[in-house]
Amino acid sequence: MYKLTAYTIACLLISLDARSVPDNYNEERRALLDEETITAVGGKINLNEDENKANDVLMRWKMRELNDSYINPQHFNFSKHYFSYKKDIEDSKVYQIIRRMPKGAVLHVHSSLMLHADMLVKLTYEDHLYACHTYDDLKLQFSETTPERPCQSKWTLVSDMRNSSGDPAAFDSQLKKYFTLYREDGEDFNFVDINTVWQRFNKVYYVIKSLISYRPVREKYWYATLEQFYNDNIMYIEVRTGLHGLYELDGTQHDKKYLVELFKNVTNKFIEDHPEFIGVKLIVTKHRALSINQVFDALNLTRAVKAEMPDMIAGFDLVGQEDIGRPLTDFLPVLSEARNDINFYLHAGETAWLGTSADENLVDAILLGSKRIGHGYALTKHPSLMSAVIKKDIALEVNVISNVVLSLVHDVRNHPLASYLAMGLPVVLSSDDPGAWSARPLTDDFFVAFMGIASQRADLRMLKQLALNSITYSALEDEGKDRLFKVFSKRWDTFVKDIISDKSFSEIDFDRNID
């Protein structure tokens, strides 16, 4: 066997030292990286002088915080569940910057799960609210007299329960747990299977639905929701809703169209109070577990409401857990027939499986002409479908925190959004059901996407492009889009100047080694 002597090793080292990197290597390396930067979402945006200054502030804080997380992953680690670091993110300067940023529109959110749990608890202070309460279940109903609906325990006025508890604050804290999946005690959701999480999620939905089906409370709920979204710098919303009926205190029932009128009237009142808010459109939904006749009826309802209030209706979608729900192929006859007069915004590919009917909903969403695809989580596994999405310019409504909470992904750095952003796909960030996890309407999703998923090099250009995408791919008519672009531009300029002038963002040790 050949043995290396000390002399031979020295000669090899001298030979290696004598070698040099080809003259054009660094240029080619830089050219490849530059090409990736230009291809990525936001890569073609040119920042003006003020934007570059604001970007410098943003990126210095981003690199400092990322470096801190590398050194101290126990404090801030995107491989952990969102709930484990949720309380800490508000201390982040990057989070504070993003919170101030105008975000354009929210295009994927469900109407009953938009409002923070703290606000829902406040709504339980309304008069005449009864509760049917067991250890793991809660039903709510407003009534002049004790409700006649079956109850496993006993219908009791919530006001009486709160007053007799001896500690109203503790009572409200326990009540809040029925309105959100989030637990401050840090329960480890990483090891909860997807079906169990969905079961818990559905329980939260039904409790909230029982609270806001009372017409006066729904009005207050909707105004408070708009206010919460507006305060998160959102100027337009497209809301998915099943158009469930509402009732009055005397038991009078309203038809499903009444809810559309409520959305419109309360939104108009909100616009009077906040003139820069553009408005709301509805995407009518039906649960994918239901029959084809029920979906057919929902499509006809969508047609009828659109004919009466065309400014309020964006289109139609099927909702619910895809893995155990019926695939789009089951509804092809009625969906195909309706596609010429109703726009689709279909959930598709909200699954971690490959080759299943849920995964292949992506195929049908594309073929049915869906204007946008809800989630599209599985798209990276389908190169042909990804090409079709790019060619047809179908926007992907990505909901990062929802995908974490509902157990599609555990370490967000592995989220397919990283690929979508790098490839420059038409992505819009949304929040799905922020109230169900006590998140801010959109800031939390932007922050996690920017810090935990996007390239370390992603900067203000990406954030701006994502906001612009939400306007471009909205269902607004051209006039509405133009107005929203103008509002966004005005607010963006103000935001940039605020970041530059705010001394709390400039107080940083720039001598630290942060590349």
- Is 350 a residue of the active site? yes
Alpha helices in 232-371 (DSSP H): 256-273, 292-308, 332-338, 361-367
Q: Are 103 and 467 in contact (CB under 8 A)?
A: yes
- Rounded to whole angstroms, the Cα distance separating 224 from 493 reads 27
What is the full DSSP assignment across 245-256? --B-TT--B--H
Q: Are 300 and 177 in contact (CB under 8 A)?
A: no
**Ramachandran quadrant class, 477 (left: phi over 0; alpha: psi -120 to 50; beta: rest):** beta
CA contacts within 13 A on the Cβ side of 405 = 29
Tokens 């073609």 sit at which residue? 44
What is the full DSSP assignment across 151-183? -SS--EEHHHHHHHTS-HHHHHHHHHTTS-S--
Q: Which two tokens stand for residue 124?
A: 């339980």
What is the full DSSP assignment across 443-483? HHHHHHIIIIIS-TT--HHHHHHHHHHHHHTSS--HHHHHH
Q: Which two tokens stand for residue 494?
A: 């103000």
Question: 377: helix, coil or strand?
Answer: coil
Who's near 92: CB < 8 A, 6+ residues apart?
61, 65, 447, 451
What is the full DSSP assignment across 141-157? EE-SS---S--SS--EE
Question: 273: helix, coil or strand?
Answer: helix
Of all helices (H) and strands (E), which one includes residue 131?
strand 129-134
Q: Are 288 and 318 in contact (CB under 8 A)?
A: yes
- Is 244 a residue of the active site? no
What is the full DSSP assignment across 227-270? HHHHHTT--EEEEEE-----B-TT--B--HHHHHHHHHHHHHHH
**Strand ranges for 185-235 from DSSP E:** none
Q: Name the catalytic one among 350, 360, 382, 397.
A: 350
- Rounded to whole angstroms, the Cα distance separating 407 from 347 reads 17
- Rounded to whole angstroms, the Cα distance separating 99 from 442 reads 8
Question: Taking the CB of residue 134, how many other CB atoms lie within 10 A of it?
Answer: 10
Q: Name the catalytic one among 375, 382, 397, 415.
A: 375
N residues, the chain? 515
Q: Which residues are catalytic?
A: 350, 375
